[in-house]
Amino acid sequence: MEARNIDRIAVLTSGGDAPGMNAAIRGVVRTAAYHNKHVYGIYRGYEGMINGNIKRIETNDVGNIIHRGGTMLKTARSREFYTPEGRQKGYESLQAHDIDACVVIGGNGTYTGAKIFSEEFDFPMIGIPGTIDNDIFGTDFTIGFDTALNTAVDAVDKIRDTADSHNRVFFIEVMGRHSGYIALHAGIGSGATGILIPENDKTIDEMVHQIKKGHKRGKLFSLVVVAEGNKNGGASEIAKAVSEKYKDIEAKVSIIGHLQRGGAPSCHDRVLASRLGAGAVDGLLKGIYNKSVGLINDEVVYSDFEDAISEVKEPKQEMIRMAEILSM
Ligand code: F6P
């Protein structure tokens, strides 16, 4: 797509929220204001685009939000945007506000919508990776991952106290429908006995073997961190299977769930989000369209939507192996 004159930039958040999205919105609005461009907020993701829920946002509107979790623009998972009719309505709303380009903040689904939309209407879009799952190609970290991790580790530390007091085995489920990043990092960071993630094929029996090996060494409690998308099922299913087969193990369950998506963003996420927000606007003004902005080796980089969507980003096998060695 040839470079356009961009004066009015829309921004939306879509899919699961992630702590730091507000800092990214702030980065977009203030960088645009610096270049004398106007920003319009689209409320509730692609739903808001379809329904014309679009309002001007100015520098002052993004004051006092850098430290807040959630997203001031709200978010949604839009079914209608999957349809050509839905996208047509979205395009008409953007035209009604004379919008020249759009920044979308979200995960894989958000990027897929943006890619189709930009191709269909020859419309400049740019994506900022905002998901706690850290599973987007083209960036070392996604916005929200660090905060979610710290929340998860804090929870596992607390469970450790009670597991230790009662000599219990706990299966602790963290988010990650398709990705083991949160479980792997939280498992390493909390010194877990075991980690079950979609990227390893450890069975329940192998995990129990690992737990029992620890017991033989005099370790009286165990913490197993389970990614919701691992191959053996959720923590409840796993604990049930363990208790049924191994009568000497009292398996307890804790599901951390949406706690991981909320709360004040960590400083790491605020800085990352600020850089990516600014990077998105800088990119648009340089004629960089239909790409995802990311941070690799501390540099702002741009990857095609196509790659960001289709390339798989997984935890390194070397790190999975190291976690195994350290957990013993
Ligand atoms: O944001 C990503 C994610 O947290 C996944 O890890 C999880 O499976 C999913 O969102 C849950 O989303 P929702 O709360 O919208 O059902």
Break the chain into its structural domains and give their ranges.
8-144+265-310, 145-261
In angstroms, what is the span from residue 11 Cα to ligand 1's centroid? 21
Query: Stretch 291-301: mean pLDDT, rounded?
Result: 98
Query: What is the residue-averaged pLDDT of the chain?
Result: 97
How far is the CA of 279 from the CAs of 204, 265, 284, in angstroms?
Answer: 44, 19, 9
CATH of domain 145-261: 3.40.50.460
Verify whether ligand 1 is closer than 6 Å to residue 179 (CB atom).
Answer: no
Lowest average pLDDT, out of 101-105, 133-137, 217-221, 301-305, goes to 217-221
Query: Stretch 89-107: mean pLDDT, rounded?
Result: 98
pLDDT greater than 80 at residue 328:
no
In angstroms, what is the span from residue 177 Cα to ligand 1's centroid? 7
pLDDT greater than 90 at residue 1:
no
Verify whether ligand 1 is closer than 6 Å to residue 133 (CB atom).
Answer: yes
Residue 63 is given by DSSP the state T
Residues forming a β-bridge with 106: 129
Q: Fold identical between 8-144+265-310 and 145-261?
A: yes
Q: Could you write out the DSSP letters of every residue in 245-309?
A: H-TT--EEEEE-GGGGG-SPPPHHHHHHHHHHHHHHHHHHHTT--SEEEEEETTEEEEEEHHHHH
In angstroms, what is the span from residue 257 Cα to ligand 1's centroid? 9
What pLDDT is attached to residue 184? Answer: 98
Quote the CA–CA distance of 246 and 64 in Å, as a whole number.
Answer: 53
Q: Which CATH architecture has domain 8-144+265-310?
A: 3-Layer(aba) Sandwich (3.40)
What pLDDT is attached to residue 268? Answer: 98
CB atoms within 10 A of CB 152: 27
Q: Of the residues 228, 256, 260, 261, which should be mutated to test ligand 1's pocket, given the most ligand atoms within 8 Å of the CB?
A: 261
The CA dihedral of 309, 27, 263, 60, to the nearest 10 degrees, is -140
Indicate yes or no: pTM above 0.85: yes
220-244 per-position pLDDT tens digit: 999 999 999 999 999 999 999 999 9
What pLDDT is attached to residue 8? Answer: 98
Counting from 1 in the atom list of ligand 1, the atom nearest the Cα of 182 is 6
In angstroms, what is the span from residue 44 Cα to ligand 1's centroid? 16
Catalytic residues: 133
Question: Which residue in this structure is represented by tokens 């005099």?
Answer: 218
- pLDDT confidence band for 161 (50 / 70 / 90): very high
- pLDDT confidence band for 56 (50 / 70 / 90): very high
What pLDDT is attached to residue 201? Answer: 86
Closest residue to atom 8 of ligand 1, CA basis: 177
What pLDDT is attached to residue 49? Answer: 98
